Amino acid sequence: MSAEFEAFIGLEVHCQLATESKIFCSCPTMSGRGISVSALPVNALVCEVCSGQPGALPTLNSQAVRFAIRSGLALGSEIQQSSIFSRKNYFYPDLPKGYQISQNETAICLGGFVEIEREDGSMKKVALRRIHLEEDAGKSVHEFGVTLVNLNRSGVPLVEIVGEPELRTPEEAGNYLRELHAIVTAIGVTDGNMQEGNFRCDANVSVRPKGSSVLGTRVEIKNVNSFRFVEKAIAFEIQRQIAVLASGKAVIQETRLYDSQRDHTVSMRIKEEAEDYRYFPDPDLLPLKFPVAWVQEERDRLPELPAQKRSRYQTDFGLSRADSRQMSASQAISEIFEATVSLLKGLPGGAKWVANLLSGEVSRLLQESELSLTQSPLKAQHLADLGALALSGELSSTATKKILHEVWRTGESVGALVERLGLRQQNDASELEPLVETILKEQPQATEELRSGKLKVLGFLVGMVMKRSAGRGNPELIRSLIERTLDLKKDA
Ligand code: ADP
Ligand code: MG
Ligand code: ZN
């Protein structure tokens, strides 16, 4: 980074809770239905409460409270028996009430931590300040030269998970976010779809001269919604601030936006003084108190957490640390991974094979298609069928990839695709022998060179036979057939 400066990073993560209805009214949220809110008709999911009509009264959604409690328990927070909803007052076109209902400091969960792996492999606990409940705002849409407002998202329940500024590098921040995402999706409180903004992050970054005892002035980078972009935005911002300080100037406290196309941050607004939102307790909502039993009930609903899952994958399936991390990165991936492994019924090499495919080709397909794993037509049965054929040598790696792509497109069964595309690997010696003989006749020169001990041409001849078999011949079998035909083993 720099010999003279050091960076501090604190993240505020907004996580959309997967309740059926909004936090203060009964409008649906479309969570967990694989429907993109942005694809729904504009302002289709609104009522007098979430569109901020005068006199409309909010009623708190108990499921949102339970999800917040569950989040706090998974993250080691202290659950508060009493907390307060306040009005955070500001004007914005997508906020028709003129205030957002948020818990701010008197939150339902205080403290807690996220444990991350440092670059040297050691573990680090990053403290949380609080987890609070709040409502989402609507969305301004800039189109046709005007700004329009879509309130479908207005009133959708969020928890904001506020971390202490204890992260020191962009990579640590990325790992913190990945771990947090893995936890909140594992416990089922959010769909966690980052493209849809279900899990988005404001990154606070400051830099100070090494040895200084106070933190530097922080800059807040707003709403970054991909792990990689958060890392890149922070990396850019650290360098920018170091350059400012190194030139003898001061960093200004401001909000900046990250432009991923140009890989830099640009100023959005300068905070001349701390914003004054004039928080005050919302008179429409009583202080939040819930039945004590809810805490134990939510504790009982906690599933295996990602950290436990990782160690189980290592001991039970022999996965590497890196693979076990990838396979527990989200609920969706660990579900399809485990379902496939169980369908493969202990086939040797099965778990490792599935992990490779999921973290390699499948993750590429996911990125390209912008689909989530649950939305894609790929199911555990497809993977298990592919794995069984690939591991027994009936499918070459090229053919496996081809079929995977077809499954992704059509959802067809692997068996049907192998037949339709004629990709089953040719393992039958009696069918390959005639091809070997033909090629050896067609290539007298190479054949002669091979006979006289030039083993280099063997690969060439195997390739020719492969080609003649339309890519389906098993290369190892072809190799041994050629050797046998020419009696090479005996001469050697
Ligand atoms: P506000 O209430 O104005 O949003 P907070 O002090 O509550 O400010 O901090 C909000 C977020 O900013 C937290 O995640 C915290 O970790 C982070 N943060 C605060 N000060 C710094 C700093 N000097 N450098 C980096 N991050 C900071
Ligand atoms: Mg803030
Ligand atoms: Zn509503």
Note the pLDDT tens digit of each residue in 80-101: 999 999 999 999 999 999 999 9
Q: Which residue, by CA, sits nearest to atom 3 of ligand 1?
A: 274
Q: Which ligand places an atom closest to the C-alpha of 23?
A: 3
Q: What is the structure's pLDDT at 34?
A: 72
- Encoded tokens for 266: 């640009």
Q: How confident is the model at residue 474 (pLDDT cuts 50, 70, 90)?
A: confident
Does residue 115 surpass a pLDDT of 90? yes
Nearest to 33 by CA among 319, 375, 409: 375
Residue at token pair 């769909």: 191
Which two tokens mark 105? 């400091």
CA distance 274 to 251: 15
* C-alpha dist (Å) from residue 180 to 114, 186, 223, 332: 7, 10, 16, 15
Output the furthest CA–CA distance in the chain (Å, rounded): 97
Residue 157 predicted with pLDDT over 60: yes
Q: How confident is the model at residue 187 (pLDDT cuts 50, 70, 90)?
A: very high
Ligand nearest to the CA of 163: 1
The pLDDT, as a whole number, for residue 490 is 52
CB 332 within 8 A of CB 373: yes
- Which of 166, 103, 157 has the alpha carbon at shortest distance from 130? 103
pLDDT of 272 > 70? The answer is: no
Ligand closest to Cα of 173 equals 1
Unique residue bearing structure tokens 């950290």: 307
What does the pLDDT read at residue 403? Answer: 94
What pLDDT, on the 0 to 100 scale, is given for residue 492?
A: 42
Buried b (16+ CB within 10 A) or exposed e, 179-215: bbbbbbbbbbbbbbbbebbbbbbbbbbbbbeeeeeee
Ligand 2 centre from 160 Cα, in Å? 10
What separation in Å is there between the alpha carbon of 163 and the centre of ligand 1?
8
Question: Per residue in 364-396, pLDDT tens?
Answer: 998 888 778 888 999 999 999 999 999 988 888
Question: Which of 74-78, 100-104, 467-471 shows the lowest mean pLDDT across its residues?
Answer: 467-471
10 lines ligand 1 (CB under 6 A): yes
CA-proximal residue: ligand 1, atom 24 (nearest): 206
- Has residue 355 got a pLDDT over 90? yes
User: Rounded mean pLDDT of 31-52?
Assistant: 87
Would you state the structure tokens that stand for residue 443, as one six-digit string?
Answer: 């290539």
Tell me how far the alpha carbon of residue 12 lies from the centroid of ligand 2, in angstroms. Answer: 7
CA of residue 379 relative to chain centroid, distance = 18
Q: Is the pLDDT of residue 477 over 60?
A: yes
Give the list of residues 6+ apart from residue 110 with CB closer than 8 angstroms, or none: 77, 78, 80, 129, 130
Distance (angstroms) between ligand 3 centre and the Cα of 141 equals 20
Per-residue pLDDT of 193-248, as tens digits, reads 888 889 999 999 999 999 999 999 999 999 888 899 999 999 999 999 999 999 99
Closest CA relative to residue 392, chosen from 336, 353, 431: 353
Ligand 1, residue 275: give the atom nearest the CA: 3
334 contacts 363 by C-beta, under 8 angstroms: no
Eight-class DSSP state of 59: -
**Residue 164 DSSP symbol:** P
Quick check: CB of 126 below 6 Å from ligand 1? no
Quote the mean pLDDT of the chain.
Answer: 92
Out of 6, 204, 213, 256, mutate this one to test ligand 1's pocket (max ligand atoms within 8 Å of CB): namely: 204
For residue 491, pLDDT over 50 is answered with: no
pLDDT cut 90: percent of the chain above it: 71
| Distance in Å, CA 29 to ligand 3 centroid | 9
Our answer on whether the CB atom of 8 is closer than 6 Å to any ligand 1 atom is yes
pLDDT at 164 over 60: yes
Give CA–CA dist 158/132, Å, rounded. Answer: 8
Is the CB of residue 162 below 6 angstroms from any atom belonging to ligand 1? yes
Q: Is the pLDDT of residue 273 over 70?
A: no
Q: Is 275 in the pocket of ligand 1 (CB under 6 A)?
A: no
How many Å lie between the centroid of ligand 2 and the Cα of residue 136? 14
Is residue 39's pLDDT more than 80?
no
Structure confidence at residue 489 (pLDDT): 59
pLDDT at 332 over 70: yes
* Residue 27, pLDDT above cutoff 80: yes
CA-nearest residue, atom 17 of ligand 1: 10
Query: Lowest-confidence range among 31-45, 61-75, 175-189?
Result: 31-45
pLDDT on residue 195: 84
Q: Is 434 left (phi over 0), alpha (psi -120 to 50) or beta?
A: alpha
Average pLDDT, stretch 421-443? 85
Q: What is the model's pTM?
A: 0.83
